Chain A
Amino acid sequence: MKTFAHAAAATAREAVAFLAAEPPGTTATRLIAGGTDLLTLMKAGILEPRRLVDIKTARDELRYLRFDPDGTLRIGALTTLAELERHPEVGAKLPILVQAVRDAATPQLRTVATVAGNLLQRPRCWYFRGEYNCWLKGGERCFAREGQNQHHAIFQPAPCVAVHPSDLAPVLLAVDARVLMQGPAGSRVIPLADLFAPPTDDRRSETRLAPDEVITELHVPPQPEDARGVYLKAMDRGAWAFALVAAAAQLALRDGKVEQARLVLGSVANIPWRATAAEDALRGQAVTPELAAQAAERALADATPLAHNAYKVPLARELLRRAILQAAAG
């Protein structure tokens, strides 16, 4: 790791000021919260910031979990995964969030890792993390596309075929979360779905967060009365692993029929992958095993697996089928 200067921001505004002080287009200053991803990127030499700005010092402003009177959950950006996991009201009203966090990383990491950091984490692709000048790092080609791609994408909207590793992102998308960001010109709120975008030639990252913006809060709107969610994660061992594939299903039923469905797959693309075709298949229907299978089939119909990850197609289909059935069963 290269040596770097260290500063602390007492507020989000101060953090933005540190970022905005950089010449445009440079990333020599980075914010650090839990650091669970940033430090590994720095140790691997992928990021070499000249200055780290600690944002944990803004905890009074950014570390909270509360429900508004209308039922909206507000999650401060510095909330740790462990706090989310252990919050009794979150567990009661949004169990899908707890299911996802419980299987993320290790207890030690969850104690320091923050919600915003989790959403902004970079892919685990071994070419990206290793000493390969891959496309995502500014190089010419994605080495995984023709290489060891067993953990990679089965939907490829970008030149890079790495997958988004977050457990939290799919479930936050499934509950239609919004993200509040602060920049030099003020704050904006966008659907979380709009934060994520496949990387492009000009923007080799998985989010649309501007270099001088900081995430300050996530909102989860109140869910319908009888909404229920299920998150299922397949790993190549029992714990402490990123998902091979994950499936999140959040359903709201009325009179035995699906009124609202949000289905999201994890670890299948550069971004959390919304399965809208499957949602359409469920809407207005009573969930039967056949319907769940059909919906899951539709979700994977357009998958284009690579040489070593064909297994992800049946695996994703099966997890989604089960998640739909379990969510429907309550």
Chain B
Amino acid sequence: MSIRIVTTHTEFEGRVYEQRVVMEGEEPPVWGPDAELAVVGTPQPRVDAQERVTGAADYAYDMQPAGLLTAAGLRSPHAHARITRLDTTAAEAAPGVRAVFSRNNAADFQNPNRDATIFADELLYQGALVAVVVAESREQANDALRLIHVEYEPLPFVVDPDQALGTGPLAATTKASNILEEYPKTYERGDVDAGMASADEIVEVHVETPACLHNSMETHGATAEWDGRMLTIWSSTQDLFGVRRQVATALGLRQNQVRAVKQYMGGGFGSKFGAHDSGLLAAYAAHRLGAPVKYMLTREEENLCAGYRSPSIQTFRAGAKRDGTLTALDQRSVASIGQGAWMPPVAMATKEMYLCPNVRAVDVAVQTNLGPFASFRAPGAVEGTVGLEITLDRLANALGMDPLAFRRQNYAAEHQDLNRPYARKLVLEAYEQGAEAIGWGTRNLDVRRYPNGKGGMLRRGVGMASQMWGGDGGPPAQASAKLLPDGTAVILTGTQDIGTGTRTVLAQIAADELSLPLDHIRVELGDTEFGLYSPPSGGSVTLSSVGPAVRMAATEARKQALEVIAHLTEAPTDAIELRGGTAYNRETGKELGTLASFLEQLDGHEISGKGMRGPNAENMTVRTFGAQFAEVEVDIGTGQVRVVRVVACHDCGRIVNPLTFSSQIEGGIIQGLGMALMEQRIVDERFGTVMNANLEDYTVPTIRDIPQIDIILLDSPVVQANTIGTLGAGEPPIIPAPAAIANAVAHAISRPVSALPLTPARILDLLREPAQ
């Protein structure tokens, strides 16, 4: 097959990247709306469900190579301090301790991902790493941590973004400003001042969103082993190839001397791109000590140093004509990124979601003395959607318009920013079907009628929000498909299943392409040693990137199988068809034999097909769109909010597996509900310390908090996107959930809502204000 290099563009978390990729052979034609698919599109339980529920599945935490050592970290109790003295001798002499790593002996050890030393002298946040003890047991490591003698010189610190922007101290003594370089950044199209001048109504809205902690069940970390030739790292990661690259760079090894493995994962949600300091340290210690080392973060470490959704402060001005035509949108967003080094796309929806000729978005990324923020399931987009959708509801109210009608009127058919079409935008369908399901038409009547329970203390509200995100993915992503002598198939890819069901959906795609039953397909993934590159699993791109590669590999394998059968049966190749693992002559209807019966005749030769994700379509924007509608009950006596029901309608193209798709939608809504009602990191500004880096004081939803979730499928392929017509579903469902709930609460209590989470305390405060 001929090899060529193609330039294409991919989008990841709101940013577009140019990519040069190697293509070999041709992708099969797209599975269109009429493609006859037997397994794709059907609900299938996860192929590894049994391993997961019986505990047989091995997570990074479970790896126990012989002679395993355990690492534990000593972390700064100060928001900002300099180490003036560090003495580890007593810890090194403690029972079971094999090494203590710190600036004293590992000052030059760097995390290549952030180009910074891991053991710094200036500690920039509570939880910054001071030293790591490696011992024969976790208990010995913990005991030795207490023997490390550290003297700190506390430095002035800042944790409040307003202070960091104003006259507060510098978060790092080496920097001239707390504002990240290149910020503020201004996006502008049209003439916002003229747009405001032509408006009949202008609203000004201030919105604040909280710092939410990912709280993956499995914390960050890894187990690593060095055998003198090869370093193997079992990492809890969303990006195995990133882990391989970073570990190799950090240790001065070649990439092919590092093998990154991850078969199962207890959640990532965006915070696990790459090896993380903890994984690099496990690798470093294993390499230095010649013994396997595990470093998995404690829950508290996880919640101090492994990321969070950056809190935002958003100020909107929005103007519209009396007839409901938007004339101008003006947004200023401050993202408080701690020791992070980039800004999430808070204004993404403002630029694109609604038709508006005059838009300005000013982004400000401000650093503070808190740990680095990290991507968190649609970073920026969730916060920005809260701001934008609250603003739209306020403007609709000011105009006396129905909020949904207002959104319909300002529907944007084209990608306004780039002046090009969308591959598809089914948001009007989502509005229609969602509104019908939630009973939008009677929402105001129901508020007046409802209900008599709890002595008339309950108020019902219905709100909605629109959703927009990428999810198209792109190259490079590679796969291979092998047909084994027994007539079963193995699919190999380097991707990782981060808990979404990737193994299952890839098996479904291969099953249809190979015309084999699902239980004849085994999917191997989660290992860089296959040499099959896959992108990081984030930005909702895994299936739309890797799925087409798997399909192409299976197609190639099927083609070869047909040729083999043709040779062995003397039937013409194009007359042979495979159904359920058996070959038939399509022309005569004659059964030729099972696939296994032919493969057995090949003396152990395995048919192997190669596949890769082809380039993206140019000159159009591929996006997921959707809408959610939420119904809430607010107890105005206690301030408690109960989400009764959420209706979700998202266009993610072809749905490969309605079961795993539903899991994504439900999980996204539940996580969004947490942000809307209860989740927030609390910081004591006197000390710059986090009060609730645990799962007691940081509350996530329980089963009692979870509403009825109705999912409306818009299941049809986006044929311009990729050869399976599927877009990602990981992030879309969280994007509108907090905004829809916030708007429903505002509707219920007839008062504007401007900050999340909507705890009983906040609702009772809001209720002290007069109703509007």
Give me the interface of A with B, judged by CB distance under 8 Å: 1-3, 124, 126-127, 130-131, 143, 146-148, 150-151, 234, 236-241, 244, 289, 308-311, 314-315, 318-319, 321-322, 325
Once the chains are docked, how many angstroms separate the CA of A60 from the CA of B765? Answer: 51
Q: Which residues of B contact A3 (CB under 8 A)?
A: 139, 143
Does A237 contact B701, Cβ atoms closer than 8 Å? yes
- Given A126-B692, A237-B702, A318-B638, residue A311 in contact with residue B686 (CB < 8 A): no
Counting chain B residues whose Cβ lies within 8 A of the other chain, the interface size class is 20 to 34
Q: Which residues of B contact A315 (CB under 8 A)?
A: 638-639, 760, 764
Known: A126-B692, A130-B689, A238-B705. 15 other contacts (CB 8 A): A1-B142, A3-B143, A126-B691, A127-B691, A130-B691, A150-B682, A236-B759, A237-B704, A238-B701, A239-B704, A239-B705, A310-B765, A311-B765, A314-B764, A322-B454
Q: Is B761's beta carbon under 8 Å from chain A?
A: yes
Give me the interface of B with A, judged by CB distance under 8 Å: 77, 139, 142-143, 454-455, 637-640, 677-678, 682-684, 686, 689, 691-692, 696-697, 699-705, 759-762, 764-765
Once the chains are docked, how many angstroms separate the CA of A244 from the CA of B699? Answer: 13
Task: Tell me how far the C-beta of B700 lies from the nearest C-beta in chain A, rounded to whole angstroms.
Answer: 8
Q: Which residues of B contact A1 (CB under 8 A)?
A: 139, 142
Does A124 contact B696, Cβ atoms closer than 8 Å? yes
Once the chains are docked, how many angstroms separate the CA of A241 from the CA of B139? Answer: 29
Q: Which residues of A contact B77 (CB under 8 A)?
A: 131
**Total contacts A to B, CB within 8 angstroms?**
78
Q: Which residues of B contact A127 (CB under 8 A)?
A: 691
- Given A126-B692, A315-B639, residue A236 in contact with residue B699 (CB < 8 A): yes
Task: Tell me how far the C-beta of B42 lies from the nearest C-beta in chain A, rounded to whole angstroms.
Answer: 34
A-B contact pairs, 26 of them (CB 8 A): A1-B142, A2-B143, A130-B689, A130-B691, A143-B684, A146-B686, A147-B686, A148-B683, A150-B682, A236-B678, A236-B760, A237-B702, A237-B704, A238-B702, A238-B704, A239-B704, A239-B705, A240-B702, A244-B760, A289-B455, A309-B761, A310-B765, A318-B638, A319-B638, A322-B637, A325-B455
Instruction: Label chain A's interface by main secondary structure.
Output: loop
Q: Which residues of B contact A124 (CB under 8 A)?
A: 696-697
Task: Tell me how far the C-beta of A311 lies from the nearest C-beta in chain B, rounded to whole angstroms.
Answer: 4
Chain A residue at smallest Cβ distance from B762 = A311
Q: Which residues of A contact B759 (CB under 8 A)?
A: 236
Once the chains are docked, how many angstroms separate the CA of A309 from the CA of B454? Answer: 24
Q: Which residues of B contact A244 (CB under 8 A)?
A: 760-761
Q: Which residues of A contact B702 (CB under 8 A)?
A: 237-240
Once the chains are docked, how many angstroms separate the CA of A131 from the CA of B639? Answer: 32
- Given A124-B696, A239-B703, residue A234 in contact with residue B640 (CB < 8 A): yes
Does B697 contact A126, Cβ atoms closer than 8 Å? yes
Q: Which residues of B contact A2 (CB under 8 A)?
A: 143
Q: Which residues of A contact B682 (CB under 8 A)?
A: 126, 148, 150
The 3 closest A-B pairs by CB, nearest first: A238-B704, A311-B761, A318-B637
Does A150 contact B704, Cβ atoms closer than 8 Å? no
Once the chains are docked, how many angstroms separate the CA of A321 from the CA of B645? Answer: 29
Once the chains are docked, how many angstroms separate the CA of A146 from the CA of B637? Answer: 27
Once the chains are docked, how many angstroms separate the CA of A234 from the CA of B761? Answer: 11
Once the chains are docked, how many angstroms separate the CA of A143 from the CA of B685? Answer: 12
Chain A residue at smallest Cβ distance from B702 = A239
Task: Tell me how far the C-beta of A201 lies from the nearest C-beta in chain B, rounded to whole angstroms.
Answer: 24
Does B699 contact A241, Cβ atoms closer than 8 Å? yes
Q: Which residues of A contact B701 (CB under 8 A)?
A: 237-238
Q: Which residues of B contact A308 (CB under 8 A)?
A: 761
Once the chains are docked, how many angstroms separate the CA of A70 from the CA of B689? Answer: 55
Does B637 contact A148, Cβ atoms closer than 8 Å? no
Q: Which residues of B contact A321 (CB under 8 A)?
A: 637
Q: Which residues of A contact B639 (CB under 8 A)?
A: 311, 314-315
Once the chains are docked, how many angstroms separate the CA of A64 from the CA of B143? Answer: 40
